[in-house]
Amino acid sequence: MLMKNNYLFFSVFFLIFSLNSLAIDLKKLSLDEGFSISIFAENLDSPRQMVEGVNGTIFVGERNGKILALKDTDNNGQIDLKIVIAEDLTYSTGVSLFNGDLYFSEISQIWKIENIENWVANYSMNSDLPEKILVVDNLPSDKWHGWKWLKHDQEGSLYFNIGAPCNICLSDNPQYASILKLSNGNLNYVAKGVRNTVGFDFHPISDQLYFTDNGRDWLGDDSPSCELNRLDFEGQFFGFPYKHANDVMDPEYGNINSGYDFVDPILELGAHVAPTGVTFYDGNMFPKKMRNNLFIALHGSWNRTEKVGYKLIRVEMDDQGNILNTYDFVTGWLRDEKVFGRPSAPMMLKDGSLLLSDDRANVIYRITYK
């Protein structure tokens, strides 16, 4: 009963929190010297993950049910054409492209649209929605931690997450609290014991998978920390629900012998900061010191006495992917305990600029450097 009540509270809170539309004052956002931020797209509906097509089309998953194609037809740095390519979906947050096909997620299904850029190029106001093809079916349908992040590796295997259907629990279904991949029609486990990741990417040099994980709730304001993890080999177990962060044993499950060796996070991000989307930067627009750095959106706390998160951070790494330092990269969405935006997912454009979706202000920003 407690778990259901917590879920109801979270759902009502989240609905209220996301219904408000905001006017973003970009002058109140703080960036490193030399960087600028602008509105790339607006009037969206809870935008999350984004991906760029070969023709410059931006595909974005809106959590409230649509997949959009966005075009800057006059090349002025702002989107002036929005095309709905799929609708009436459930938590449609994840998108990925491979060999010209667009993959996108619901809670319990993953679809694809073949040759999506060709369809966009021939779009007219009278066009029917493109045919979507079912790729993965029969995944858990729990809305709690049900939204997904999608990412293809270089060989075409599709990675995606299945969150735990709870704050803290054990489940008979081994798919929960995991990262899986679809390869040659087969589903395989990549990582287990992962409570709720909604962001992962491959290191540009080592090709290792780095992913965030949202820490459990109701252990106080400052515990446990949310995490950044690195996968060294497939099948590793990252602690949930027995152990959190580096050294927090769960009060309910911590005394159970799980039979697993726990992998500790490579970086603690802070309690309740709610890391979501991530991207490695391997472009040429930003300063050289930022190459192969990881950008992480901290979506922000919802159950802490004093709010934390609500910013984009930069994790500096060496060429081997070892962490050197962390920095705030964009801040200002949280001021005097008032929230003006919730960064949800960064994405590097081919020109080296960085897009950042905000599912609270319902915009996508573009960050450039001169």
310-338 pLDDT, tens digit per residue, is: 999 999 999 889 999 999 999 999 999 99
* 349 domain residue, yes or no: yes
CATH number at residue 229: 2.120.10.30
Q: Give mean pLDDT in consecutive 10-residue pieces for the chain, a chain of 370 residues.
A: 40 39 80 96 98 97 97 94 98 98 98 98 95 96 96 98 98 96 96 98 97 97 98 98 98 96 98 98 97 98 96 95 97 96 98 98 97
Q: Which amino acid is at 74?
A: D
82 secondary structure, DSSP code: E
Determine the pLDDT at residue 24.
77
pLDDT tens digits along 60-70:
999 999 999 99
Determine the pLDDT at residue 15.
39
Residue 111 vs residues 95, 104, 108, 336: alpha-carbon distances, Å: 10, 5, 10, 42
Under a CB-based contact definition with an 8 Å cutoff, are residues 301 and 324 in contact? no
Determine the pLDDT at residue 7.
39
Determine the pLDDT at residue 319.
85
* 195 domain residue, yes or no: yes
Determine the pLDDT at residue 220.
96
Q: Say how far apart CA 218 and CA 303 lie, in whole Å.
A: 8
* 120 domain residue, yes or no: yes
Domain count, the chain: 1
* 5 domain residue, yes or no: no
Residue 68 vs residues 52, 116, 149, 299: alpha-carbon distances, Å: 12, 11, 16, 22
Of the candidates 198, 196, 204, 200, the residue with the CA atom closest to the CA atom of residue 231: 200
Of the candidates 193, 196, 100, the residue with the CA atom closest to the CA atom of residue 152: 100
350 secondary structure, DSSP code: T
Buried b (16+ CB within 10 A) or exposed e, 304-319: beebbbbbbbbbebee
Under a CB-based contact definition with an 8 Å cutoff, are residues 349 and 52 in contact? yes
Helix (H, G, I), strand (E, B) or coil at 183: strand
* 17 domain residue, yes or no: no
Determine the pLDDT at residue 22.
55
Q: Say how far apart CA 280 and CA 103 lie, in whole Å.
A: 20
Under a CB-based contact definition with an 8 Å cutoff, are residues 333 and 273 in contact? no
* 141 domain residue, yes or no: yes
Domain that holds residue 272: 33-369
Determine the pLDDT at residue 186.
95
Helix segments in 41-113, DSSP class H: none
Determine the pLDDT at residue 23.
64
End-to-end Cα, the chain, rounded Å: 55
Query: How many DSSP H helices and E strands does the chain contain?
Result: 2, 30
For 310-335, give the DSSP string. -EEEEEEE-TT--EEEEEEEEE-SEE
Tell me the whole-structure pTM to 2 decimals. Answer: 0.93
Helix (H, G, I), strand (E, B) or coil at 288: helix
Under a CB-based contact definition with an 8 Å cutoff, are residues 262 and 237 in contact? yes
* 14 domain residue, yes or no: no
* 16 domain residue, yes or no: no
Residue 67 Ramachandran class (φ > 0 left, ψ -120 to 50 alpha, else beta)? beta
Q: What angle do CA 177, 247, 313 make, to 5 degrees?
A: 70
Helix (H, G, I), strand (E, B) or coil at 116: helix
